[in-house]
């Protein structure tokens, strides 16, 4: 098999076939939108998360877009409805995000006008108790106390390798994570615990900066992010994350290299673990750490994303070198 060619922006390569097979057999919704599977025996194509009976891998072919699957003569599955828009793609995480967005509008009303009644009405809830329960679930605080509450502001970032959720306080960005990632919920919990603030989908200047820097990064024109970052962790995690930030754009280090740089060659596994707990993907470049053998190693956001990020950085670096 020849290695796939990855253009810098927009078009998405398919993940490796074994990875896609694993994904649809497990009904893994984090791959929804990444690929579609088409079943030769039925002529139907599905999202990876489809709950219909799983076809045998030998009867399946994979497409990266709905269009390709349809051009190949397949019809859309009536159960997982692959033709339906973006909004349905990201499963529960996306719905939870929308619900939180709606509640955030209510939080702003309370903060600015001190009017709980109006907030209930604006958020589309019929009763105070229903609103209070939903609010407490999302913000971990009762509406009456929200006026004084500060919050981690959450924003939605679209990137060529899938949407991400970012978090910010006035001191900086404290979260950047792929929305499909199973760890997202856990990371949101950690942020909430570390910062002792509710999570509120809302705007923030740091989120605006991050959004435009991500655009430049994916266009291959930005090598270092300037947006401030706040990443509290254990002493060891913080040392690992600081070390990751020293790996130059376009280069990689092994887990062992990082352990040695920290003065403890034996800490390879601990380095790997801290690497995986990085909450600020891309900006703290945990994707630049690979296995000693040169294999990619792990990546919480999915190996195809890691491959894609490294390819992007390598291509932009060599392009830059040729120009200079
Ligand atoms: Zn289906």
Q: Which of 177, 12, 30 is nearest to 89 (CA)?
A: 30
Contacts of 219 (CB under 8 A, 6+ apart): 8, 9
CB 280 within 8 A of CB 176: yes
What confidence tier does 176 reach under pLDDT thresholds 50, 70, 90?
Answer: very high
What's the token pair of residue 170? Answer: 């006035």
Give residue 106 CA to ligand 1 midpoint distance, Å: 36
Domain spans in the chain, listed from the N-terminal domain onward: 17-85, 90-149, 151-324
pTM of this prediction exceeds 0.75: no
Which residues lie at CB < 5 A from ion ligand 1?
46, 50, 52, 77, 79-80
Q: CATH topology for 151-324?
A: Arc Repressor Mutant, subunit A (1.10.10)
Give residue 70 CA to ligand 1 midpoint distance, Å: 14
Contacts of 124 (CB under 8 A, 6+ apart): 102
Q: Domain 17-85 sits in which CATH superfamily?
A: DNA Methylphosphotriester Repair Domain (3.40.10.10)
Q: What is the mean pLDDT of residues 134-163?
A: 68
Q: Which of 321, 127, 137 is nearest to 220 (CA)?
A: 321
Instruction: Compute the half-sphere exposure of residue 199: CA atoms within 13 Å on the CB side of its CA.
Output: 23
Give residue 46 CA to ligand 1 midpoint distance, Å: 4
Q: Is 286 in the active site?
A: yes
What is the CATH number assigned to the segment(s) 90-149?
A: 1.10.10
CATH topology identical between 90-149 and 151-324: yes
- CA–CA distances in Å: residue 125 to residues 108, 128, 212: 16, 7, 35
Mean pLDDT value across the chain: 79
pLDDT of residue 92: 42
CB 289 within 8 A of CB 255: yes
Give residue 9 CA to ligand 1 midpoint distance, Å: 29
Give the C-alpha separation, 194 to 188, whole Å. Answer: 10
pLDDT of residue 198: 72
CB 47 within 8 A of CB 82: yes
Find the catalytic residue in 46, 50, 77, 286: 286
What's the token pair of residue 262? Answer: 């920290």
Most confident of 109-118, 138-147, 202-211: 202-211
Give residue 59 CA to ligand 1 midpoint distance, Å: 15
Give the C-alpha separation, 73 to 40, whole Å. Answer: 10
What confidence tier does 197 reach under pLDDT thresholds 50, 70, 90?
Answer: confident
The predicted-structure confidence for 216-249, as pLDDT tens digits, reads as follows 999 999 999 999 999 999 999 999 999 999 999 9
What's the token pair of residue 317? Answer: 């670096």
């Amino acid at each position: 098999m020849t290695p796939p060619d990855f253009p810098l922006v927009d078009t998405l390569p398919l993940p490796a076939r074994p990875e896609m097979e694993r994904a649809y057999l497990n009904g893994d919704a984090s791959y929804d939108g990444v690929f579609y599977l088409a079943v030769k025996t039925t002529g139907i194509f599905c999202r990876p998360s489809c709950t219909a009976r799983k076809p045998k891998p030998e009867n399946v072919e994979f497409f990266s877009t709905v269009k390709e699957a349809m051009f190949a003569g397949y019809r859309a599955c009536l159960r997982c409805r692959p033709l339906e828009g973006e909004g349905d793609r990201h499963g529960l995480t996306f719905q939870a995000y929308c619900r939180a967005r709606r509640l955030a509008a209510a939080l702003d009303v309370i903060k600015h006008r001190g009017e709980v009644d109006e907030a209930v009405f604006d958020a589309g809830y019929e009763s105070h108790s229903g609103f209070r329960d939903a609010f407490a679930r999302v913000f971990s605080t009762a509406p009456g106390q929200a006026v004084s509450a500060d919050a981690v502001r959450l924003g939605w970032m679209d990137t060529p390798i899938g949407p991400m959720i970012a978090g910010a306080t006035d001191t900086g960005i404290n979260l950047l994570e792929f929305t499909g990632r199973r760890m997202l919920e856990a990371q949101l919990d950690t942020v909430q615990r570390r910062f002792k603030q509710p999570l509120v989908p809302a705007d923030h200047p740091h989120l605006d900066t991050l959004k435009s820097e991500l655009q430049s990064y994916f266009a291959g024109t930005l090598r270092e992010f300037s947006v401030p970052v706040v990443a509290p962790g254990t002493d060891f995690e913080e040392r690992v994350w600081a070390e990751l930030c020293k790996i130059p754009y376009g280069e990689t280090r092994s887990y062992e290299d990082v352990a040695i740089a920290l003065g403890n060659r034996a800490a390879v596994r601990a380095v790997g673990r801290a690497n995986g707990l990085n909450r600020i993907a891309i900006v703290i470049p945990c994707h630049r750490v690979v296995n000693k053998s040169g294999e990619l190693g792990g990546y919480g956001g999915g190996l195809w994303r890691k491959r894609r990020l490294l390819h992007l950085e390598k291509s932009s670096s060599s392009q830059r070198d040729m120009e200079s």
